Amino acid sequence: MLDYLIEMATAAAAGDRQAWLFWICLYAFLTCGFGAVRLMRIRRWPEVPGELYEAGQVPFGTAMVASEQTWRYEVRYGYVVDGTHYRGHRLSAWPMIASGIARSVLDLQVRGIRRIGDKVRVIYHPRKPQRSYLVRPGWGGIAVLLALALVPPALYFLHFGI
């Protein structure tokens, strides 16, 4: 296997298309695979009720023209874990920015905030409770990442073999 990696590195340096595709597929496998594993782990985090202080779209960066302005959703919330008060600011493990008409996508992400009466559900890292989110990762997003991790390498090896 190490010989194959060395061969692909040498071929990529020489500009070989197959070698470039190999490294792109390997990159997709690693980044999307680790991302999917991370999201699956976050799905298992415990939850506590919290209080939502602030939520809304805010500008992200600067734009020369108003229609080119990018936006992100900003939240501020508080919650208590084992008697300790924490403040959080992360909406989701999938940070999103959008501009123009795509800003409505940000509002879709906010729909994932689960309300419990006048409280919100906060998911937090069991060993680092200061790390938290308001939206639990969904299986659809995890499936997309797994597909992006597995399909390109599978197609590569079906086409080129090892």
Q: Higher model confidence: residue 125 or residue 95? A: 125
Q: Higher model confidence: residue 9 or residue 62? A: 9
Note whether 123 and 42 are within 8 A (CB).
Answer: yes
Q: Round to whole Å and give the CA distance between 97 and 114.
A: 21
Q: Round to whole Å and give the CA distance between 86 and 125.
A: 12
pLDDT at 134: 95
Token representation of residue 80 = 């208590």
> Which residues, at least 6 apart from 37, have a Cβ–Cβ distance to it below 8 Å?
none
* In the chain, % of residues over pLDDT 70: 99
Q: Round to whole Å and give the CA distance between 21 and 28.
A: 10
Which phi and psi (to 5°) does residue 46 adopt?
-70, 170
Comparing CA positions, the residue from 27, 40, 9, 24 lying closest to residue 137 is 40
Average of pLDDT values for 17-34? 94
What pTM value is reported for the model? 0.81
pLDDT at 42: 97
pLDDT at 66: 77
Note whether 84 and 77 are within 8 A (CB).
Answer: no
Count CB-CB contacts under 10 A for residue 24. 14
pLDDT at 97: 87
Residues in the chain: 162
Comparing CA positions, the residue from 58, 141, 136, 135 lying closest to residue 98 is 58
Mean pLDDT of the chain: 91
pLDDT at 14: 95
